[in-house]
Amino acid sequence: MYIGELSKRTGVSVKAIRHYEEIGLIKTPLRKDKYRVYDASYIDVLAMIQLAKRLGFSLSELKAIAQAKTEKGLVPMDLLVSEINKKRELLLTQQKTISLKLAGLTELEQSVAQYNACLLESLEPSA
pLDDT in tens, the chain (127 residues): 999 999 999 999 999 999 999 998 998 999 999 999 999 999 999 999 999 999 999 999 999 998 888 777 888 899 999 999 999 999 999 999 999 999 999 999 999 999 999 998 888 776 5
| Residues with Cβ within 8 Å of residue 42, at least 6 apart in sequence | 6, 10, 26, 29
Q: How is the chain split into domains, by residue range?
A: 1-70, 76-127
Q: How far is CA 63 from CA 14, 29, 41, 66, in A?
A: 18, 17, 18, 5
pTM for this prediction: 0.75
Which CATH number does 1-70 carry? 1.10.1660.10
For residue 92, the one-letter residue type is: L
